[in-house]
Structure 1
Amino acid sequence: MSACGLQHQPTGNADGKGLLVVYFSKVIELSDTLFFILRKKNSQLTFLHVYHHGTMIFNWWAGVKYVAGGQSFLIGLINSLVHVVMYLYYGLAALGPHMQQYLWWKRYLTSLQLLQFFIVTIHTTYNLFTDCDFPDSMNAVVFAYSLSLITLFRNFYYQSYLTKKSKQT
């Protein structure tokens, strides 16, 4: 076991197969974005949405192909848990307007997404300064990408929840 507590493993192991499932989910998410574009649902398309879904498919392809297991598995696990909560929210919202009273927690969902990126950033930073069996070059990419997502999601949170609240008061 390495200092980071998670070992890099070849794609053929169980972690690698689990990451293929995560990769496939990113293909579905990108398809969802493409359907927004084709249906001209521009109100649902933001830079954050297109950037996130447009880059995740390539990030996960590289993760599965080159560094399956360990750090990649941890990121996939955290991301999958956040997506379960996120799709629960969107599933409830899809049931109709009568569900709105139960959907007061959307801002907390965004907070959960931000927490995910902070955890990944902290773990990746730790891995950069320890003897971790995960390439430093990939840690650097994950670190930079996580910071970009923190910036974009923080801006989304600010625009969606803090500026609207200050306009109401």
Structure 2
Amino acid sequence: MEILGKLQGSSLRMEIDDIKSSAALMYSEFIKNADRRTETWFLMSSPLPQTLIIAAYIYFVTSLGPRLMENRKAFDLKGVLIVYNFSVVALSLYMCYEYVMSGWGTGYSFRCDPVDYSESPQGVRMAATCWLYYFSKFIEMLDTIFFVLRKKYSQVTFLHVYHHSIMPFTWWFGVCFSAGGMGTFHALLNCIVHVIMYSYYGLTALGPNYQKYLWWKKYLTSIQLIQFMMVTTHISQYFFIKDCTYEFPIFIYIIASYGLIFLFLFLNFWYHAYTKGKRLPKVLQNQTWAHHSNGVMNGNANHEKEE
């Protein structure tokens, strides 16, 4: 029996070793087409570091954070929120500039634009901008952490947490394989929308005295609808252009799916809220629909800034 047990243990170890070897071989095959320019950049060595960060984020905002705050008073983060929001505005402005200068304003055709994998200054600049956009998604995770610290648990919805988690995860693969080209147009648009949205959030966080500067809040819904329409229209060109040389079409399909799904969701909301003249849902009255719909594309769902 003892010999049989040893043989079974040895067989199990061999099976585990075979699985590890197969997994390592599959990963090696998968990663061999990665962009060598970005592989040494922060968080880009493998998807494991970001996976651990995302897992820790999900655990904190859904379990650990609420338990730690259960018997504590909600934090007053007015000053932090002001600095945070306007910092994101500044970062978004910078990324807009970099996206324009590295391709979208200096040579891209707005049609089938392939990725520049060369070591040229402009090609590397675009790749670096894509990495910065990817890293900004981790910064935006603070949205949810602030909700937890302020005990605004109603804002920590599944959709909110899902999109804060999925955006950096999918963008790791974008930076790893396709840092540039037509797949980055939605990121440029998203940065532009972030400038507007976080400016609104920042002014709201300043308090009631700044309400007079928020006359344009009624246009936020239209801005987001335009964003979805532009993303969907631009990326859909791929399916009608002959011999488009974009290297990794999988990203085109992912972007197109996001754009179409949320364009239809937003149009449905627009139809019921405005065209049919129905009473606006409470979520809009609380000014959270704008945050929710923007968060669908950029992980900023339900970003409420109440005082």
Q: CA deviation at 1:4?
A: 2.4
For the structure 1 residues 11 and 151, does the alpha-carbon distance in structure 2 shift closer, same or farther, using more than 3 Å as the test?
farther
Q: Within 5 Å, which residues of 2 pair with 1:120-131?
A: 120-130=231-241, 131=243
Q: CA deviation at 1:143?
A: 0.7
Structure-1 residue corresponding to 2:134? 23
Conservation of the 8 A alpha-carbon contact between 2:112 and 2:182: no
Amino acid at match of 2:244: C
Give TM-score, length-normalised by structure 1. 0.79
For the structure 1 residues 45 and 100, does the alpha-carbon distance in structure 2 shift closer, same or farther, using more than 3 Å as the test?
farther
Structure-2 residue corresponding to 1:140? 253
Quote the sequence identity (%).
Answer: 47
Higher relative contact order (CA 8 A, sep 6+): 1
For the structure 1 residues 103 and 159, does the alpha-carbon distance in structure 2 shift closer, same or farther, using more than 3 Å as the test?
farther
2: CA distance between counterparts of 1:155 and 1:37?
31
- Structure 1's unaligned 5+ residue stretches are none
Structure-2 residue corresponding to 1:163? 279
Give TM-score, length-normalised by structure 2. 0.47
* Paired positions, count: 166
Conservation of the 8 A alpha-carbon contact between 1:30 and 1:57: no
2: CA distance between counterparts of 1:17 and 1:11?
13
1: CA distance between counterparts of 2:217 and 2:232?
23
Amino acid at match of 1:163: R
* The structure with more helix, counted as a fraction of residues: 1
* CA-to-aligned-CA distance 1:14-44 (integer Å, 9 cap, x gap): 1110011111111111232244245431243
2: CA distance between counterparts of 1:27 and 1:91?
19
Conservation of the 8 A alpha-carbon contact between 2:134 and 2:175: yes
* CA-to-aligned-CA distance 1:78-110 (integer Å, 9 cap, x gap): 111111111111111111012223223223123
Q: Which of 200, 212, 230 is equivalent to 1:89?
A: 200
Q: CA deviation at 1:60?
A: 1.8
2: CA distance between counterparts of 1:86 and 1:77?
14
- Structure 2's unaligned 5+ residue stretches are 1-107, 286-307
Bigger-Rg structure (1/2) = 2
Amino acid at match of 1:132: C
